[in-house]
């Protein structure tokens, strides 16, 4: 047997462990009763530890050495390259550091839930301080050339560097700020609660399912369940789970949640199932993953043709819905400066990301003390949005990410927005796709994404993937043009 085949066997074993953990994780967020938590934490810790141990075995590295000398097909060679990159990162962290981080983050998450409830930063501060210290330690083990943030970005967006992200945001900031201000002014006449009505949950579920099916989500290989924090998770090559939450007063909240998560799910369903567990059967980066969710949520789901088709159907399902198409679209495209990122509209969303990037980079570079975070957050918020958060729950305590130790993650949301606009624009250059989208038919668009993005797995870097699909590397101009046409057009 070749070293490559033996690596595939080990990778398959790791994938079995990881997908078992994913199944337990999905259950924990959906149906698990509260008293099951302690045992579940032990199960997750056990499976995570086993997977890490297999991947960092000396045997795995020896096989990699051998496979690098074997004659391989291009996809096989790409898998070996990616395994080497991931393995180099994994072996640098000691078991002790991994365990310490896991314990610190589970404590921090619990403390964060309480701190947010009480809007009391002091309850969370020592935990965040510990996580930032441990994160800096991890970055040092991984090593970096310029600053710790680079090593962290590499986990979520391989190859990205803090200085590039910083340059990108520096150039985006004045344009985004001006655009957001203008969009907010233009939205002044649109009532804030125009979409409010009576939308029973079971009827929302019916519409959501019809919409998800119509954009190509395969319910024979996936399902939708209810959760408090919506997410999408893959439990196996033909098992894609979406989750959402329901607001009985506003059906668009769960529907856009489903369009977003189905965008993630379509990407996962489009990865080659035969390569499950191998890099060629795995998503390439979070910036690409998020481009898929944003494309379906914003470019498709908030477009006029989409609602020309779906508003009449929504009115059949919900007798309470009587808005005209024009009023409905105006309500959907209303911009406002608000405190909470996850509720922000497209016009203001990236400013929320910019703020988090600036602050986490300063925390990691020891330029900002943890105890000073609330004040720094509020000053930065005032600067970007012209508002001061009334409390820390609506300020620096609102996101779960830092409590999980996920520092370096936020920029992938804006990268996702940029990539989504660029990919959508490139796809629209194909006349058959543009015509179909204008009639709210999305089979050709999905086919294009399958071909250019999904089927490639992680055989190319995200930069190579975007360049191959669109003709140029990630470029902010398409996103800005999209926002201008939507909010100022």
Which residues does the annotation mark as catalytic? 261
CA atoms within 13 Å, Cβ hemisphere of 148: 19
Output the smallest distance, CB 264 to Zn ion, in A.
Answer: 6
Contact range with Zn ion by CB under 5 A, out of 52-60, 289-297, 422-430, 447-455? 289-297
Q: What residue is closest to Zn ion based on CB?
A: 293
CB nearer to Zn ion: give 144 or 231. 231
Contacts (Cβ under 8 Å, ≥6 apart) of 372: none
Shortest distance in whole angstroms from residue 258 CB to Zn ion: 12
Q: Of the listed pieces 9-17, 250-258, 288-296, 389-397, which binds Zn ion according to CB under 5 A?
A: 288-296
Q: Total number of residues binding Zn ion (CB under 5 A)?
A: 1
Enter the tokens of residue 256: 């856009």
Q: For tokens 């051998």, what's the residue?
A: 66
Q: Which of 97, 86, 106, 88 is nearest to 138 (CA)?
A: 97
Q: Which residue in this structure is represented by tokens 């986990």?
A: 155
Contact in structure between 430 and 250 (CB atoms under 8 Å): no
* Smallest gap from residue 243 Cβ to Zn ion (A): 12
Minimum separation from the CB atom of position 251 to Zn ion (A): 20
Render 204-239 in DSSP notation, one character per residue: HHHHHHHHHHHTT--GGGEEEEE-SS--EEEEETTE
| Number of residues in the chain | 489
CA 414 to CA 86: how far, in whole Å? Answer: 24
| One of 76, 293, 417, 419 touching Zn ion (CB under 5 A) | 293
Dist CA 404 CA 131 (whole Å)? 8
- The interface region with Zn ion, picked from 159-167, 266-274, 293-301, 321-329 by CB under 5 A, is 293-301
Tokens of 145: 């050339």
State which residue, 370 or 415, has the beta carbon closest to Zn ion. Answer: 415
Interface with Zn ion includes 419 (CB under 5 A)?
Answer: no
CB contact at 8 A, 436 and 448: no
Our CB check for Zn ion shows the closer of 105 and 293 to be: 293
Q: How far apart are CA 268 and CA 283, in angstroms?
A: 7
- Measured N-to-C along each axis, helices 148-156 and 346-364 cross at an angle, to the nearest 10 degrees, of 130
Secondary structure (3-state) at 469: helix
Among the listed ranges 113-121, 142-150, 272-280, 287-295, the one in contact with Zn ion (CB under 5 A) is 287-295
Kindly identify the residues of this chain, within the stretch 220-259, that bind Zn ion according to CB under 5 A. Answer: none
CB of 37 to Zn ion, least distance (A): 25
**Residue 199 or 296 with smaller CB distance to Zn ion:** 296
204 versus 293: smaller Cβ distance to Zn ion: 293
| CB closer to Zn ion, 235 vs 258 | 258
What is the smallest separation between the CB atom of 46 and Zn ion, expressed in angstroms? 28
Binding site for Zn ion (CB under 5 A): 293
């Amino acid at each position: 047997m070749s070293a490559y085949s033996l690596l595939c066997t080990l990778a398959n074993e790791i994938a079995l462990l990881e997908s078992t953990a994913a199944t337990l994780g999905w259950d924990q967020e959906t149906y698990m009763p509260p008293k099951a938590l302690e045992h579940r934490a032990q199960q997750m810790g056990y499976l995570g530890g086993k997977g890490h141990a297999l991947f960092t075995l000396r045997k795995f590295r020896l096989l990699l050495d051998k496979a690098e000398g074997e004659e391989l097909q291009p996809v096989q060679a790409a898998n070996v390259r990616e395994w080497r990159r991931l393995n180099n990162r994994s072996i640098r962290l000691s078991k002790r550091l991994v365990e310490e981080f896991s314990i610190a983050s589970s404590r921090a998450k619990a403390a964060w839930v309480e701190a947010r409830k009480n809007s009391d930063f002091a309850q969370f501060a020592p935990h965040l301080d510990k996580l930032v210290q441990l994160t800096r330690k991890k970055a040092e083990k991984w090593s970096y050339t310029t600053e710790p943030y680079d090593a962290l970005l590499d986990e979520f967006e391989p190859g990205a560097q803090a200085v590039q992200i910083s340059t990108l945001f520096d150039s985006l900031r004045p344009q985004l700020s001006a655009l957001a201000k203008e969009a907010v002014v233009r939205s002044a006449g649109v009532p804030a609660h125009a979409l409010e009505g009576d939308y029973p949950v079971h009827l929302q579920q019916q519409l959501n399912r019809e919409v998800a099916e119509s954009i190509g989500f395969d319910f024979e290989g996936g399902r939708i369940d209810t959760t408090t924090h919506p997410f999408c998770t893959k439990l196996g090559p033909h098992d894609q789970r979406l989750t959402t939450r329901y607001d009985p007063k506003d059906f668009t909240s769960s529907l856009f949640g489903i369009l977003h998560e189905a965008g993630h799910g379509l990407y996962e369903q489009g990865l080659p199932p035969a390569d499950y567990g191998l890099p060629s059967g795995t998503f390439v980066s979070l910036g690409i993953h998020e481009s898929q969710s944003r494309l379906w949520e914003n470019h498709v789901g908030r477009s006029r043709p989409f609602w020309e088709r779906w508003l009449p159907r929504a009115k059949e399902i919900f007798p309470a819905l009587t808005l005209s198409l024009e009023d409905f679209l105006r309500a959907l495209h209303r911009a406002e400066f608000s405190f909470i990122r996850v509720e922000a509209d497209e016009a203001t969303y990236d400013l929320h990301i910019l703020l988090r990037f600036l602050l986490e980079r300063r925390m990691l570079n020891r330029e900002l003390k943890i105890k000073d975070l609330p004040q720094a957050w509020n000053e930065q918020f005032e600067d970007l949005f012209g508002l001061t958060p009334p409390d820390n729950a609506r300020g620096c305590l609102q996101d779960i990410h830092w409590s999980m130790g996920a520092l370096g993650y936020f920029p992938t949301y804006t990268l996702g927005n940029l990539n989504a606009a660029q990919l959508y624009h490139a796809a629209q250059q194909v006349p058959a796709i543009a015509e179909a989208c204008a009639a709210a038919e999305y089979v050709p668009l999905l086919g294009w994404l399958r071909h250019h993005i999904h089927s490639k797995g992680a055989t190319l870097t995200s930069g190579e993937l975007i360049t191959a699909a669109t003709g140029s590397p990630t470029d902010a101009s398409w996103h800005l043009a999209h926002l201008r046409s939507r909010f100022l057009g």
